[in-house]
Every structure is written in C-alpha cells, then in structure tokens.
Amino acid sequence: MVSQTFEAAAPEAAVVVSRVAACIEYRGTAYRGWQRQQSGVRSVQEAVEKALSRVANHPVSTVCAGRTDAGVHASSQIIHFDSDARRSMANWFHGANANLPADISLAWAQPVEQDFHARFSAKARRYRYVIYNDPVRPAHLAHEVTWNYRTLDIERMQQAGALLVGEHDFSAYRAVACQAKSPVKTIHHLRLVRFGQFIVLDVRANAFLHHMVRNIAGVLMEIGCGERPVEWAAEVLKSRDRREGGLTAPPFGLYLVDVTYPERFQLPHRYMGPHFLSALNSLDD
C-alpha cells in the first residue's frame, strides 16, 4: 500500500513528494539513445521529461531501468520520477501522451514507495533482437529489424547460444568503452525462434553490458551463416578479448522488452513486444 497518493494530499498540508513508476515504449530510430545529451541532440529521456514537466507544471527528472543506445527501441522501458504535483495516474498517463511525439508512448503510470528505484531495484532485464532473414532488403520495418541476406541456420545458432547461458565473464562481448564495474553477468535464458522470415533472439539476464546483446547477435549470425563453427561462441567468451568477437550487430533490431522487479512493488505486467511480432508472447517465460 502506497502511503501517499496525489489525490489524498490536502490543500493545506505540507508539500509531499511522491514517487511514480512508469512504462515507456519508443521507436529509437530518430534519437541518439535514451540518455539526455547536449543541447540540439535528440534523446528519448529529454522528450519524456519535457512531457512530464508540462503535466507536473515543474521540471521533472527521470531515472530509467537501462540506458539504450542510438537506434535501439523499447516496448517496456521502466522509469521513476518524483513530483509534488497532485495528479492522478490518469492525469500522468493522458497528459504525458498528449505531449509526447508519435514515436514515444507512456504505457502506464503507478505510484510507488520511495525505496523503488527503476535501475537498482531491477532483478533482471530482457531484450529481443529481431533479424529479417531474406535475400531481399525489406522496404517495411527497415529501421526496426536487422536485415541479413545470408541464409541463417537457426539450429547452429541455438547450439551456440546455449554455450553462453549461465554466469560468465562477458568481457569479449562488451564494448571497449563499457563502464560497468564487473564484466561478470548471468544469462538466465537465451532462445532463438523463427517466425517466417524473422529470427528472434530472446535473452534475459540479471544485467547487461554495453553492446552485449548486439555482440552476441553478431557472433550468432556469423555462426548461423556457416562462417564460424558453433564452438566459436564459447571460444570468444573464454578469450575475454573484444577483438576476438567480430563485428557488433546493428542497433535497429534491438528491443528492451521487459524488466523484472520484486513482487512487493506490484507493477503492472504488460505484454512484451515488439508489437509486430505479437506471437512471441506465447513463449514460455
């Protein structure tokens, strides 16, 4: 039970700052990533904070579950922000969406306790990387999938992906500029599923390193097209050397689709995206 809601604050009472959690979905093509940057550089965070600030009638600063790179999308980016404005959750929801650009939407908003933190309270994060596997370059969804014209053997990719599940030092799968304190992460599951011309890499871990999913996708595509043996995925992992991992896959097909929090926060559960592959939600979680 949240101790203080926006509606319950009496006009004569002292100012009460309340914390709100919200789910944001966005198409990242037009932005230089989530994080607010210097003036003139478009970011998702800046657009979200401008919209929320208009609803609150005061500057709003947000904290996200995971910063996404330029061109990366999200169907379930979780944020939190603090405000002393007395607004209902419907006010936040409708007001924010009325002020957001068409490629960003607020999916839900909910009051939470002050100890909730969008980043540090998260127990796991889940990404999906969508590959369009066809000799012909797609005219549709061009910036929402990664096109690979070579025939990919999904069974080889599945075998290679299984070698990465568990707790490992993922130094060879992170960007050189990654600032994470430790390269040791735990992958809970790594699945590859084909839907027609789409191949979807679905990966859940306690946390991810910078470019980790895109580097995994790059390695698996090299294995899938027969350029490398299945064992190469483990050899790259064992090397702990980014130079051994080949090319980083493009950002276009990458989606942040879920963030897991302790049950006590009782956050809404929204179906995982991307929307154009709704059949993915039949996958066993």
> Is residue 241 annotated as part of the catalytic site, yes or no?
no
CB-based contacts of 43: which residues, under 8 Å, 6+ apart?
31, 32, 33, 34, 35, 36, 37
Given a contact cutoff of 8 angstroms between Cβ atoms, the answer to whether 215 and 245 are in contact is yes
Are the CB atoms for 174 and 210 separated by under 8 Å?
A: yes
Residue type for 228, please?
R
What distance, in Å, lies between the first and last C-alpha atoms of the chain?
A: 27
Q: Which alpha helices (H) appear in the chain, and where do they start and end? A: 44-56, 89-99, 154-162, 212-224, 232-239
Cα dihedral 98, 15, 114, 45 sign: positive
Strands 166-169, 146-148: pairing is unpaired
Three-point CA angle 169, 174, 179, nearest 5°:
95
Catalytic position from the list 69, 82, 103, 169? 69
Residues 6+ apart with CB under 8 A from 63: 79, 80, 81, 117, 118, 119
Is residue 180 within 8 A of residue 209, CB to CB? The reply is yes
Distance CA 26, CA 101 (A): 10
Distance CA 43, CA 28 (A): 9
- Among 137, 174, 96, 91, smallest CA distance to 252 is for 137
- Which residues have a catalytic role annotated? 69
